[in-house]
Structure 1
């Protein structure tokens, strides 16, 4: 038997090779608990969703992009006058989308 041994694909390339999936699937979903690269699901029924939860998109934008509005680094929540926001600024979403493209 001849077995092919291939090197694992680097994570940076894997994200770009997953056609048709939103880049926010690269982080775990805080709403439904879906793991990285797995689809979101309805917690009560377990039904998988075509789109990701807004909380997952927020987490993804927060972990991958700097916010041009409040000037915070990736991983730091957006804020207004020092008070953390429950969501991120719209400009941070745009910044994350540009980085993913």
Structure 2
């Protein structure tokens, strides 16, 4: 009998198994370099973190929510007087968390 380790998993089951994870894990982390759906890690000690890095949460909020403060659509970075911000506004992050809940 052959056991396959790469068998496809139904999407409903995959979603149920990842439901306890932070939704920001659906995007790769630009801080520690891990791929999507993997936990963030410390680069020096190679230990995994329970929560994602703030940069990863910011990238996730940018991809899923509109910003009520600067009125931009998803995937467009927040701006302050025409200057793009490295992170997102707090209201955009709150909007993303509200829609994910």
Aligned-residue offset at 1:7: 6.8
What residue number does 1:9 align with?
Answer: 10
Superposition RMSD in Å: 2.2
Distance in 2 between the 1:94 and 1:16 partners? 23
Equivalent residue of 2:29, what SS? coil
Distance in 2 between the 1:38 and 1:79 partners? 29
For structure 1, list consecutive stretches of 5 or more residues without a partner in the other structure. Answer: none
What residue number does 2:4 align with?
Answer: none
Counterparts of 1:1-101 in structure 2, within 5 Å, are 8-10=9-11, 14-15=14-15, 17-101=17-101
1:50-86 CA-partner distances (Å, limit 9, x unpaired): 1100000000000111101101111111001100112
Aligned-residue offset at 1:23: 0.4
| Alignment TM-score, normalising by the size of structure 2 | 0.84
Q: How many residues align?
A: 97
For structure 2, list consecutive stretches of 5 or more residues without a partner in the other structure. Answer: 2-6
Aligned-residue offset at 1:16: 5.6
| Alignment TM-score, normalising by the size of structure 1 | 0.84
